[in-house]
Every structure is written in structure tokens, then in C-alpha cells.
Amino acid sequence: MVDVEGSLEAIAGRPAVAQAAEQGARLVDLWPLTNAEHLANDAKYAEDLQVRISMVLAQLMTGEDVTIPDAEYVYEGAEDIPGRPQDLVDALMAANDAIEAAAQAQEDRSKMLADLAETLGSGWDQARQQEVAAGVAKVEQSLDGQSTSSKSTQDKEGVARALATSLMICRDLLRRAGADPDHAAAAAPILVYVNELNERLGIPRAFLSGEDVVQALGLLDDPEAFADLLAPLAGAEWDHHRQEVLWDPEEAKRKAKEDDERKSREALQAKFAHVPEDPNKPPVEL
């Protein structure tokens, strides 16, 4: 295992990790998906997740305010956006290239990370590349001897261990990359790698905002605080993923109609709330 402080069991047993593991287990338990609507919903979620992740990577790369519409335009194939800086668009294109390259990588993930660092302009010098490569080699060696199928992580204890492993590896590689709140761009390739690592560990991908990343980079010397910050964010994303997979358009329409009717009743009640009740008015039987 990578050279990190604290034990896997200690991180896996933290309340924040245990809670996130319950959320992750509920999501993983939906698989394998067999319902056509659920499969379509999951595909749409995956596209939305890539858009959001590319937005964050571009924010880290440029330090600029990148928006979801920016990321959507580029994801859909735009190579320029009227009124938006070209370096922002270039960063979004690079982010999508990096995400797709990482998803397709099968071997030599140390080289993959070096390529990601170049694609994402992360500023790693030769020493940093070698340090990260050494860390990745330890990760891959450790995973080669383990069963990382999703079957082994179906229950919450398995998800907790997988999440703890992911968090420990993430923190170690971020430190090796020299990432900190003032050098957040150095974190970008690690974030892409760890999301792909999650798939191999049998847990779903997660999402961190740019602010989340910067905050996490300030906690790299404290493994417990690092885990306590990121685990709930992973759990929240997994809840969102589950809701998106199970989304039923007809049920959504029904609930929206009920909400509209409820709001109309409340507005009507508020409108006549000042009208005094007539004590002589006979009761109305419903």
C-alpha cells in the first residue's frame, strides 16, 4: 500500500466514511441495471458528471470562473465560445481529452498520469513526475494482488474500505504532486486518476467543486480531517447519482402538479386569511 499515515481500518471506521459508505452501498446495490429507463438515466448522469468535472479541472488550470454552460458547449463540440476567453475554452477541451484518455487507459498508469499532467498543464517538473510515478507503482502493485470487482464492495463495509483506500491514495498522490491551495492546478491529474481508480475499487466516481479541492489541499497533513471533508461530499454525490438513475418523468410530473396545487391552496388561504370568520355561518359538510 502507498506510504500514508494512519491505517486503512482507522479511516474506514470514521463516522463520516461509514455514513458515505451507506450512501454508496445503496447506489451500488442498483447494479446491474436492467431497466431501459434507468440505463438511459445513468448514461445521462455520466455525461453530466463529465461536464461538471471538466468545469472544475478548467477552473484549477486557469484560475478563472468557468461555468456549466461553458463546459456544456465544449463537451458538445464547441472550439470557441463568443465572449469567453480562448484559454478557458482550451482548458475545457484539454479536460475532456484527459477524462476520456484516463477512462480508456489499461496499462502503465504512471505514464498515463504523466500524460495527463502534460495535457492539463499541471506544472509537474521531472522530480514531481518521478515521485508521482513511484506512488502510482505502489498503488498498482497493491491492487494487482486484490480482488477489485464490484461484488466485493456491495455491502457498506466493503464500500467503506474501498472509499478509505481511495482517500488514502488520493492524499498521498496529491502530496507527491506538490499540490497545495496555492498550486491547485497540480492536483488536476490526480483527481482524474482517482475517479478512474474508484471504478476499479468497485465504488462509483465522485465529484468535488473547485472550492472543495482547494479546501482539501489545505488538509493534506491531516489524514482524518482530509477524510472527514471528502467522504460526505462523495456520499452526497452518490445520493445524487442514485436519484438520477431512479428518476421517473411521470412521477416527477405528478409531484410537480401536486406541488402547484398545494401552492395555489396556500396562496388562496393567505389571500383570505384577514377575512373574519362569520360566527353565524352554518358548517359545511365535506
pLDDT of residue 119 exceeding 90: yes
Query: Who contacts 263 (Cβ-Cβ below 8 Å, separation ≥6)?
Result: none
Given a contact cutoff of 8 angstroms between Cβ atoms, the answer to whether 135 and 2 are in contact is yes
Measure the CA angle with vertex 102, ends 97 and 103; round to 5°: 100
> pTM (2 decimals)?
0.85
Architecture of the CATH domain 8-248:
Orthogonal Bundle (1.10)
CB 132 within 8 A of CB 174: no
Lowest mean pLDDT among 91-105, 214-228, 240-254: 240-254
Give the model's pLDDT for residue 124: 95
Q: What is the mean predicted confidence (pLDDT) over 142-160?
A: 73
* pLDDT at residue 241 greater than cutoff 70: yes
User: What count of other Cβ atoms lies within 10 Å of the Cβ of residue 149?
Assistant: 11
256 grid coordinates? 410537480
Instruction: Provide the pLDDT for residue 3.
Output: 42
pLDDT digits (tens, 9 = 90+) for 164-201: 999 999 999 999 999 999 999 999 999 999 999 999 99
Interatomic CA distance for residues 168 and 153, integer angstroms: 17
